Structure 1
């Protein structure tokens, strides 16, 4: 890795185009995230139907995320990322031309899900590429930069872009504009990224290749701590992704406008972006596990509840709500060191280990909305948030058991193995 400024930051010139490409692609993928559910409900769907759409979409994301790691090693990162782009474009075009125009769930669910297959193959394959490329002592920082790019595009720039252009372009043209960002991101990350990906695995026979594909499943049982890490990763963003299904309606009911909500949502993820790199550095210095356990699990359990109680008791107080959103976004970012910890538990099968972690990331987009669909009718907004809070506390408890061998602790300066 280069020793210049970018190298010191954990991101050198060879991979820089890839990070920018991830940011642009995810901006295109996520520009509708903060408002599509409310738009669908306003145009005839129930909140349960909207939750179903996002849940099935999340399941498709989970499947693609699960196999992205091993596919990146079998086919190579560039080929896997290209497949992701193609699936995303096809799904988007059919969803917009047929699905949204008819508001027919039978069309919307499969086409939006096809779109959902695309971004994990693109983004998480690049993450596997990165875990092979970055040196061990900078791995936490490097994956922190990945999540900065990922979250900045998906949740920050996409949300702010929508808040500015929706009044002028309208919903459909805004959705079509996503393809511009996806195309630019693909060019930068696939064509202009300089590393050749030569660190990936090579296979002598097809049988050996197929056997390794199964590692994306069996690694969780062969290395139970990897499986536990996948559970924690699922909880990590389940609450954050579930919020977009029901919280916009709650905020608007309290008295916020849609633009204000999108800016609050953007502030949440702006904080997340900033703290992605901060927690990556902190994790490298103070310990990956403790960072996830205390700042991630316990921190999220507390701060997610403020998103309900602060507006509840203070009304549509824009500044106060933005502050608590920033706090929650910072705590969500504290799970970043998982992307360094989990592949380090299986150094000879990093791609397979990352597949489990990526599965967790994908499942979070399924579990979060699914919880809303199952329980919103019985427990309401505050009940859903308490469920999420309980899950975050569970993730903190699980992290007690996700430890590295003493040898790896010494190499990575992990002081957290015997802590707690």
Structure 2
């Protein structure tokens, strides 16, 4: 558990950078390439700890995956070609890996066990195992199938109609994968307006999904074919540099080739509502859109964030909270109870750590209230083992009047292995 000392007072922030590939898409590209027929080539894959955990899980199930000349090459086994792993499938800190694998493995004819790190093993899994049980899945886990480790005896699944109680891309994706293996037609309704990388990518791999604003329909027994996948830069990683550009006087940044999927761009809507000087140049519009983001220092005003936009920026709320400390007025974040079941309780962690730095911020049952404009003073803070809390605090060091000491900074490698190198590249 390493600690680093950061002091960025009186520095100039200017330049351009390219953030790593999108974590959500990288996970899915490996998963779908593994169960497709043929060879998939993935470019700009995120080599963070979470995505490497996904890759290792599929290698344990007999998939040949190569890292060659900067690309990931996946030699697909077909949707029923995976083999029973001889060892536990270790998913690390990755909820995406664990929850999507629960959906896939429940419909394959072998036994497997999923386990994660201490943090992941305390995150809820019943939101996936409960609907899978309705499809006939056989799983056994701690706390009545709610916590990892979970063992799975794959079986023939039956299609269901299921209404999602929470807007969760991971739950939705697990049920779509289970639906591909089930007998019949699976219909998913309810709160389906979360990130849609699974739907977009599966279509690229040849799956047919019927989708509208109210439901997703998946027919069982489909086969997937290989694809070439370009992974755009992760907007959740870009968010930290968007914040940096907005809150450091005189800052000017260009962030290149960032994913612009509309289910993920809530942070752009929020910072514009706050008066942020952010412009977007779209390079590709079809499939997974991406483009360049231009950011300049801005005089910001408070806003209210709630309702339908929350699923579009749930991972960006920690850095939005930091931005809000530098906005005139009081920013209110509501309807974000999902933050409590992330890598840590992010409501509690954000409020605790920013308060140490002198921010006027308070937690609510479903979000937080941030009073601006605040001067931050520096001090000793903790990541809580959460990569997004760690990066948020590192950005905070640029507006602190004293040194910031960041404990357990290594967890940032989960999603952004070269974060500090990229940060250094734009500091003058």
TM over 0.5, shorter chain? no
TM-score, length-scaled by structure 1: 0.25
Question: Which protein has the bigger strand share?
Answer: 2
Q: Which has the higher contact order (CA 8 A, sep 6+)?
A: 1
TM-score (norm 2): 0.25
Tell me which protein shows more helix as a share of its residues. 1
